[in-house]
Structure 1
Amino acid sequence: MAEDEKTPAREIITDYAQAHFRYFRTTEGTVYAQRNGHPVARPVRSQGTTGSHRQELMVGMFNDGLGVFNGTALKEALDLIEALALSQDVQATHIRVASGFDGATWLDLGRDDGRSVRIHPNGWDIRVPDPREVCWRRTQLTGELPIPEKDTDGKGIDLLLRLCNFANAESECLAVAWLIGCLEPSVPVPAPFLTGPQGAGKSTGGRMLVRIIEGMTGDLRRAPKDEENLITAVAAGWVTALDNLSHLPPDLSDLMCCIVTGAESIKRALFSDGDVHRSRYRRPLLLTGIDVGVIRPDLAERLLPLRLERPRVRRTEAELWAEYAQVLPVILGSLLDLTVKVRSTEADIPTDLRMADFAHLCAQLDAATGLASLTAYRASLDDLNDDVIEGDLLAQTVLKHAAGIDPGAEIRMTSAEWLHALTQLYTGEECRPLPKGWPTTGKVLSDRLKRLQPTLAARGVLVDWGRKNTARYIELTRPAVPLPEQSAPMF
């Protein structure tokens, strides 16, 4: 055959790719390739990395006898394929969990054969999802989960709680509720904070909870030093677990709030002067540590303290993890059974809690099992409010001032007048020095009170802002009728 009669290599590659793969784009404009009948999608632009679509395409053509093609032909073919895919249907990709059709959700087992768990209020089973229903995206953080066992009769939950060192039943039921919440992609869940004395097994307990969702390769990590690295780690997995925290600076605290309830990060795209890269994230977050110091009020409403105690009998790491790996299929099966039972149970939605979806999940869990997880959740929020107040001298001073107000009375003053009154109350007759961080202007005081507003409301002190004529004022009220517990304003 003459040279000019040969089919160009890029055309051979393009024809093969379109015959064996499905190409689509996400809302962010990223083009993905999905082998026909397989749910795992790989970005077309991912080159040179393990499991990339470029490698997948090269191996497929070699195994089918088409030979080996040079990099220029592959690049030209993939450029054309990517351009054609930009006009195709838009579909989202998911890591680990995804919403499906008919009210079902899916759990990616991380297996090469694509088998996943379909969870429905009528039951759960293992199957390969329709690629047009679920597209899995996998990274180096996506570990493989074992095939969960059927008909466990709930013994897996008991096995998990026996391996962990939870100090009380309240922490146990909240841990179970959090695990169920991790299997629901549309429900934001508060971040469990595993606390306890040194040697209580906080890191080990955190790993056990994480590996139920992320597999045996899932692990804890140190908090990154900057926001960009943390967002990158969060976007690459489902559960993010930060170990041995001892301090929560304001920037990290604010970022954790965004991770729990959802946010978006935008940065300049690499090798581009005009385009941007979007990262949307809302992920389950887990923390461990003995003490993190002062907790900001907005983060306190998104935390779930789980208390651990020192075990009476110590075991070697090898023995402990060998037993855990052996019972993990039973634990996962029991968790799936309980998830199905909870989702099929009706319960009233608590309207007085900020994390209303998780509070509703707790109410469903209580109705399905007879536990008291919602009561435990309210008690944990109350404890966190105490922690916030104990770490904030301004909050303590406001409550001290409110204690001298008659129930039902309202006091209105400008921010500057409030600052003067609270400062005098704190310094007292002995004129003790003001602490570091005490408000220096009325504006700073007003901003601090806005952060403390939910915490103060939980203690029966309402703070509100208004304007009369041309003057703005801050109003402090002690209602005559006690407020319902945790009736903090919603933001």
Structure 2
Amino acid sequence: MPDDDKTPAREVIADYAQQHFRYFRTADGTVYAQKNGHPVARPIRSQGTTGSHRQELMVGLFRDGLGVFNGTALKEALDLIEALALTEDVQPVHIRVAPGFDGATWLDLGRDDGRSVRIHSTGWDIAVPDPREVCWRRTQLTGELPLPAKDTDGKGIDLLLRLCNFAGAQTECLAIAWLIGCLEPSVPVPAPFLTGPQGAGKSTGGRMLVRIIEGMTGDLRRAPKDEENLIAAVAAGWVTALDNLSHLAPDLSDLMCCIVTGAETIKRALYTDGDVVRARYRRPLLLTGIDVGVIRPDLAERLLPLRLERPQVRRTEAELWAEFEEVLPVILGSLLDLTVKVRAADADIPTDLRMADFAHLCAQLDAATGLGALTAYRAALDDLNDDVIEGDLLAQTVLKHAAGLEAGVQQRMTSTEWLHCLTGLYSGEECRPLPKGWPTTGKVLSDRLKRLQPTLAARGVLVDWGRTSTARYIEMTRPRATPPQQGHEQPSAF
């Protein structure tokens, strides 16, 4: 064939690509390629080790007998495809868990054949999702899950609890509630903090919880030293598990709050001056450690303490994980069965807790099983409030001052006057030195009290801010106790 009659290589590649792949863009402008009939999507510019679209395009062209093309032709064809895809409808991509049609939820099993679990109002089944309903994104952190077992009659939950060393039924029901929350993409869940004495199996228990969702390749990792690396790790997987924490710096504490309830980061795109890259994230987070020191109040509201105890009989790692891998299909099947029951249960939404979605999930779990998860969650938050107060001398001083207030009487002072009052109360007649971190100005005191406001309210001390015609003030009140009403349950003390 004369050279003039040959179809340019870039056109051959572009025609083949449009016949065998579906191209679309996400809200941030990234273009993805999805093989026809398959739910896994890959960014067309990716060079990732999990397989890039460029690689699967080259393999397809070669296996279908169209030849091997040079890099220039591939680049020109992909440039054209990317430009055409920017006019297509926007569709999101998901890692591990995704919302589907008609209120269903999908769980990616990480399999090459694309089979996933569809959780709906009447049960769950295994199927390959319609590519226009769910687009999965895979990374190196996307492990493969076994096919969950059917008709387990709840045996998997018992097997899991037997393998873990949870201290009591309250801890067990909270762990189950968290696992159910991990299967719901629209519900922010608090971060379990596995704690207990040395040798209690905190890391092993954490790995088990993670591997139920992420497969046997899921694991714990050390906390990255900077925010950028932690966000990259969070964005590449579903459950982020940080092991053996001994200290929570303020920056790391704030970042954990953002991971649990959701946030967005923006940074400059590589090799550009004006373009930016947006990264939105909200992921389940899991922590382990004996003691992390002082916990800040905003993080305490997003934690879920799970206490473990030392096992009486030790087992080898090989024996333990062999049994866990063997029973994982049953555990996953029982968890899916319970998830369906919980979603079908009707329960009121608790309106007094920060993580209201998770509190509602606990209430639904109680309605379905009677485990008492909501009561356990309230008790866990109450214990965390005690931890915050025990680690904050300012909070202790405020409570000591409030103890002398008459119930129902409002005390107003400027922030500077409050600083002088609380400093004098802490120093006492012996004028003991102020601790490191004690507020030095009225503004610093006001900011600290704003952080402590929910913790103090949980202990019956209300702090509020206001302004008169001449100055701003801080108001402190110890409200009168409300007598229980006839025929109603007495309000919880938490």
TM-score by length of 1: 0.98
Answering whether residue 377 of structure 2 is matched by residue 377 of structure 1, we say: yes
Percent identity reads: 87
Cα pair 1:22 1:35 within 8 Å, conserved: yes
Q: CA deviation at 1:468?
A: 1.1
What secondary structure, in the 3-state scheme, does the structure 1 residue paired with 2:13 have? Answer: helix
| Match of residue 185 from structure 2 | 185
1:421-440 equivalences under 5 Å are 421-440=421-440
In the TM superposition, 1:124-163 aligns within 5 A as: 124-163=124-163
Question: 1:2 and 2:2 equivalent?
Answer: yes
Structure-1 separation of matches of 2:321 and 2:43 = 35
Q: CA deviation at 1:481?
A: 2.0
Aligned to 1:91: 91
After superposition, what is the alpha-carbon deviation per residue over 1:385-433, rounded to whole angstroms, capped at 9, x for unaligned?
0000000000000000000001111100000000000000000000000
For 1:437 and 1:113, locate their aligned partners in 2 and report how far apart those are by CA, in whole Å: 57
Specify the code of the residue in structure 1 equivalent to 2:323.
Answer: E
Q: 1:39 to 1:48 in 2, by over 3 A?
A: closer
Partner of residue 280, structure 2: 280
Q: Which residue of 2 aligns with 1:210?
A: 210
The CA deviation string for residues 179-208 of structure 1, in whole angstroms up to 9 with x for no partner, is: 000000000000000000000000000000
Aligned twin of 1:294: 294
Q: Deviations over 1:416-474 (max 9, x none)?
A: 00000000000000000000000000000000000000000000000000011121000
CA contact (8 A) 1:48 1:55 kept: no
SS where residue 33 of structure 2 aligns? strand
- Kept in 1: contact 2:50–2:139 (CA 8 A): no
Conservation of the 8 A alpha-carbon contact between 1:171 and 1:306: yes
**Retained in 2: the 8 A contact 1:458–1:485?**
no
Q: Which residue does the alignment assign to 1:404?
A: 404
Once the two structures are superposed, residues 97-131 of structure 1 have per-residue CA deviations (whole angstroms, 9 ceiling, x without a partner) of 00000000000000000000000121000000000
SS at match of 1:401: helix
Query: What secondary structure does 1:184 align onto?
Result: coil
Query: 1:149-194 deviations in whole A, cap 9, x for unaligned?
Result: 0000000000000000001111100000000000000000000000
Does residue 52 of the first structure (1) align with residue 45 of the second (2)?
Answer: no
- 8 Å Cα contact 1:25/1:85 also seen in 2: yes
Q: Which runs of 5+ in 1 are unaligned?
A: none
Give the whole-Å Cα distance in 2 for the aligned partners of 1:38 and 1:75: 24
Work out whether residues 212 and 332 of structure 2, in 8 Å CA contact, stay in contact via their aligned partners in 1.
Answer: yes
Contact conserved, 1:461 with 1:478, CA < 8 A, in 2? yes
1:228 aligns with 228
CA distance in 2, matches of 1:196, 1:275: 47
| Counterpart Cα distance in 1 of 2:328 and 2:158 | 12
Amino acid paired to 1:338: L
Secondary structure in structure 2 of the residue aligned to 1:110: coil
Q: How far apart, in 1, do the equivalents of 2:48 and 2:187 lie?
A: 36
Compute the displacement of 1:61 (Å): 1.0
Task: Give the C-alpha shift of residue 48 in structure 1.
Answer: 6.2
The aligned amino acid for 1:185 is P
Unaligned runs of 5+ in 2: 484-490
CA 1:234 to 1:71, structure 2 compared with 1: closer, same or farther past 3 Å? same
CA pair 254-316 structure 1, distance change in 2 beyond 3 A: same
Residue 216 of structure 2 is aligned to residue 219 of structure 1: no
Which residue pairs with 1:61 in the alignment?
Answer: 61
Shift in Å, 1:4: 1.1
Structure 1 CA distance for aligned equivalents of residues 482 and 212 of structure 2: 42
Amino acid aligned to 1:417: E
Residue aligning to 1:327: 327
Corresponding residue of 1:314: 314
Task: Determine the structure 1 residue equivalent to 2:250.
Answer: 250
Q: How many corresponding residue pairs?
A: 487
Q: Helix, strand or coil: the match of 2:101?
A: coil
Relative to the length of structure 2, the TM-score reads 0.98
Q: 1:97 to 1:48 in 2, by over 3 A?
A: closer
The answer on whether the counterparts of 1:109 and 1:116 sit within 8 Å (CA) in structure 2 is yes
Alignment deviations for residues 130-153 of structure 1 (CA, whole Å, 9 cap, x no partner): 000000000000000000000000
| 2:194–2:306 contact (8 Å) kept in structure 1 | yes
Q: Which amino acid aligns with 2:79?
A: D
* Shift of residue 273, structure 1, vs aligned partner: 1.4
User: Could you say which residue in structure 2 is the equivalent of 1:344?
Assistant: 344
Distance 1:109 1:213 in 2: 9
Mapping of residues 460-479 of structure 1, within 5 Å:
460-479=460-479
Measured in 2, the distance between the counterparts of 1:42 and 1:81 equals 14
What pairs with 1:14-33 in structure 2 (closer than 5 Å)? 14-33=14-33
Structure 1 residue 274: Cα displacement: 1.2
How far apart are residue 303 of structure 1 and its match? 0.1
- Three-state SS of the structure 2 residue aligned to 1:187 is coil
> Which residue of the partner structure matches residue 239 of structure 1?
239
The range that moved more, 308-317 or 267-276, is 267-276
Deviation per residue, 1:49-90 (Å, 9 max, x gap)? 441000010111111111111111101100100010000110
1:352–1:486 contact (8 Å) kept in structure 2: no
Q: Could you report, residue by residue, the CA deviation over 1:329-360 in whole angstroms, capped at 9, with x for unpaired residues?
A: 00000000000000001001001101000000
Could you tell me whether the CA contact under 8 Å between 1:460 and 1:482 is conserved in 2?
no
SS at match of 1:102: helix
Q: Which residue in 1 is equivalent to 2:12?
A: 12
1:451 pairs with 2:451? yes
Structure-2 residue corresponding to 1:80: 80
Residue aligned with 2:315, SS: coil
Are the equivalent residues in 2 in contact too, given 1:246–1:291 (CA < 8 A)?
A: yes
Distance 1:447 1:300 in 2: 17
Alignment partner of 1:422: what SS? helix
Q: Is the 8 A contact 2:50 2:138 kept in 1?
A: no
Task: Name the aligned partner's letter for residue 105 of structure 1.
Answer: T
Contact 2:238 2:284 in 1 (8 A): yes
Letter of the 2:44 partner, please give it: V
2:171 corresponds in structure 1 to 171
Shift of 1:486: 7.4
